[in-house]
Amino acid sequence: MTLGLAGKKASCVAVWLSMALLPRKKKRKDPGLPGASHSRAGDGPLTVAKFSEVGIFLVERKMGSSRRSFLTQLARKKGFRVEERMSESVTHVVSENNSGDEVLELLDKQSGICRAALVDITWFTESMGAGKPLEVENRHRLQEALKILAENAQLCENEGRYLAFTRASSILKSLPYCVTKMDDLQGIPSLGEHCKRVIKDILEGGICREVEELIQNERYQTLKRFTSIFGVGVKTADKWYREGLRTLHELRASKILLTKEQEAGLLYYEDLIVPVTRTEADSITKIVEGAVHRFLPAAVIKLTGGFRRGKEYGHDVDFLITHQEEGKEQGLLYQVINWMAAQGMILYDDITDNKDQKWKNKEPEIFDSFAKCFLIFKLQKDVVNVLRPNTAGDDDSLAANKAKEIGRGGHAETCERATCAAVKVKDWKAVRVDLVVAPFSQYAYALLGWTGSQLFERDLRRYAKHFKHMSLSSHSLFDNEQVGRN
């Protein structure tokens, strides 16, 4: 080992570290799957890095400065050492959506020699989930490659391929052992030829050419960027791409007519791409509970989605609301939204009534027809969490005005900097929140349906249909044979 770690403290970290930098020789003792050990982001800042032997450098390119800064804070809170610059003490270079060649080229421009392991974001997120640095494995490379291929299939509206790659990635994630050779895949269902080819390439050469090329592909990059805006789906993103748009700056400067949802998505873009932490989700839970209980003191409010599954952070916060006395929940959503709006807590809202006709013709196994509200919540940050307290003089309206300027165009770089400045001085964060209201008799199904993951729900419904001849949705579970339906 070149890192000169003290032999005595050859703890699991040292062992792990040596394995991270050398080809893997043996299985890791603790698989440390995400969520296996919960070290909350809200444990409070640690001044001394718990895992000081591990030095992380996050590559900003493609990750963006807001996300990089979020991930830096998250890692530091969990006791990881994150370096702002590349140096000799960096052991792990973490990048997202960059090819290996690109990272090497970027590092070449930085001072410091790269002896570190080049790892992708899956290693980082899993390590955060486990609360400790994990061994770098092909597993991370494999999952990431399959996820990228799944994402691309989605952007090409190829649902079959999307499902195949998503399933494969999910299967690899759940395997109780590490895949090191093709034989390890024997007997695993749902692994098609294409997936196997990708896995083989990575196991043999560390990379998959198809994925490397995809990452460089202009359409993939552009559609990924546009669909990361709230309110923008694949069809819209593809239309903009075909019209010649490539960047958010070009979109903002264009005369393209945006929906209200997309306008809000673009206006709060910088906040919305930063993951929501569990601490933030807990704060929002308290606020939503307070708001709902004003109108219905006995209402039940349940945090659902990824956070209910134990995820440490997510893209939004999902809630399911009900009341044991069926019917009491009627009209509740409007009261709650109106009250929260009056308190200045809402930046954008879109209420769908359960009587809304647009849901009537939809497939109940895919679209439910509960009263719901997709909103952008204005979460006040704790004063201690404001990044630059010395700029406390800046108020909301300044930040909001800045955000508005950004939303309406201007020069790209200036925007980027202005956005960062606005994010740093403002004392609130825009967070996507979904509120769903279900009548009590359907609550159990709604809870199951809104807990996710999307793939799990999908496969559960497929299993119900094909193996049990039943129809499962967020509203009910029917025995098709008894009801006489197909």
> What sign does the CA torsion over 195, 196, 198, 202 have?
positive
CB-based burial label for 445 (10 Å; 0-12, 13-18, 19+): middle
For Mn ion, give the closer residue by CB, 64 or 314: 314
CA 115 vs CA 84, 133, 400: distances in Å: 17, 17, 44
Q: For the CB of residue 30, give the shortest distance to ligand UTP in the complex, in Å.
A: 25
For ligand UTP, give the closer residue by CB, 93 or 472: 472
474 binds, among ligand UTP, Mn ion, none (CB under 5 to 8 A by kind): ligand UTP
Q: For the CB of residue 309, give the shortest distance to ligand UTP in the complex, in Å.
A: 7
For ligand UTP, give the closer residue by CB, 81 or 278: 278
> What sign does the CA torsion over 471, 476, 482, 483 have?
negative
Q: For the CB of residue 484, give the shortest distance to Mn ion in the complex, in Å.
A: 36
User: 434 catalytic, yes or no?
Assistant: yes
Candidates 394, 396, 434, 459; catalytic one: 434
How far apart are alpha carbons 176 and 180 in whole angstroms? Answer: 13
Quick check: 41 and 74 in contact, CB under 8 A?
Answer: yes
450 binds, among Mn ion, ligand UTP, none (CB under 5 to 8 A by kind): ligand UTP
Helix axes 412-425, 396-407, angle to 10 degrees: 160
Residue whose CB is nearest to ligand UTP in the complex, by number: 452
449 binds, among ligand UTP, Mn ion, none (CB under 5 to 8 A by kind): ligand UTP
User: 350 catalytic, yes or no?
Assistant: no
407 binds, among ligand UTP, Mn ion, none (CB under 5 to 8 A by kind): none
3 state DSSP class of 166: helix
CB-based burial label for 448 (10 Å; 0-12, 13-18, 19+): middle
Residues at the interface with ligand UTP (CB under 6 A)? 305-306, 311, 314-316, 318, 368, 449-450, 452-454, 457, 474
For ligand UTP, give the closer residue by CB, 126 or 318: 318
Does 312 help bind Mn ion (rule: CB under 5 A)?
A: no
Q: For the CB of residue 317, give the shortest distance to ligand UTP in the complex, in Å.
A: 8
Q: Which residues are CB-contacts of 126 (< 8 A; sequence separation ≥ 6)?
A: 32, 33, 34, 134, 140
Q: For the CB of residue 442, give the shortest distance to ligand UTP in the complex, in Å.
A: 13
User: 395 catalytic, yes or no?
Assistant: no
Q: Which residues are CB-contacts of 108 (< 8 A; sequence separation ≥ 6)?
A: none
Question: Hey, what amino acid is at 117?
Answer: A
How many residues belong to the site for Mn ion (CB under 5 A)? Answer: 5
Candidates 318, 349, 368, 427; catalytic one: 318
Record the tokens describing residue 94, joined without a space.
């973490």
Candidates 316, 349, 368, 427; catalytic one: 316
How far apart are alpha carbons 382 and 284 in whole angstroms? Answer: 12
Does 280 help bind Mn ion (rule: CB under 5 A)?
A: no
Termini Cα distance of the chain: 63
Question: Hey, what amino acid is at 398?
Answer: L
Quick check: 49 and 19 in contact, CB under 8 A?
Answer: no
454 binds, among Mn ion, ligand UTP, none (CB under 5 to 8 A by kind): ligand UTP
For ligand UTP, give the closer residue by CB, 17 or 150: 150
Quick check: 438 and 302 in contact, CB under 8 A?
Answer: no
For ligand UTP, give the closer residue by CB, 177 or 367: 367
For Mn ion, give the closer residue by CB, 32 or 129: 129
Quick check: 432 and 350 in contact, CB under 8 A?
Answer: no
For ligand UTP, give the closer residue by CB, 53 or 316: 316
Selected from 144, 280, 318, 365, the binder of Mn ion by CB under 5 A is 318
Q: For the CB of residue 264, give the shortest distance to ligand UTP in the complex, in Å.
A: 17
452 binds, among Mn ion, ligand UTP, none (CB under 5 to 8 A by kind): ligand UTP
* Stretch in the footprint of Mn ion (CB under 5 A) among 40-48, 56-64, 294-302, 315-323: 315-323
Does 457 help bind Mn ion (rule: CB under 5 A)?
A: no
How far apart are alpha carbons 109 and 316 in whole angstroms? Answer: 37
Question: Hey, what amino acid is at 407?
Answer: G
137 binds, among ligand UTP, Mn ion, none (CB under 5 to 8 A by kind): none
How far apart are alpha carbons 175 and 127 in whole angstroms? Answer: 17
Helix, strand, coil percentages (3-state) for the chain, rounded to 5, are: 50, 15, 35
For ligand UTP, give the closer residue by CB, 41 or 103: 41
Q: For the CB of residue 362, give the shortest distance to ligand UTP in the complex, in Å.
A: 10
Does 305 help bind Mn ion (rule: CB under 5 A)?
A: yes
Half-sphere exposure (Cβ direction) of 411: Cα atoms closer than 13 Å = 3
Q: For the CB of residue 203, give the shortest distance to ligand UTP in the complex, in Å.
A: 29
Record the tokens describing residue 425, joined without a space.
């001085």
Q: For the CB of residue 116, give the shortest distance to ligand UTP in the complex, in Å.
A: 29
457 binds, among ligand UTP, Mn ion, none (CB under 5 to 8 A by kind): ligand UTP
- Residue 115, H or E segment: none
How far apart are alpha carbons 163 and 453 in whole angstroms? Answer: 13
Does 316 help bind Mn ion (rule: CB under 5 A)?
A: yes
Which residues carry out catalysis? 316, 318, 434
- Provide the binding-site residues for Mn ion, judged by CB under 5 A: 305-306, 314, 316, 318
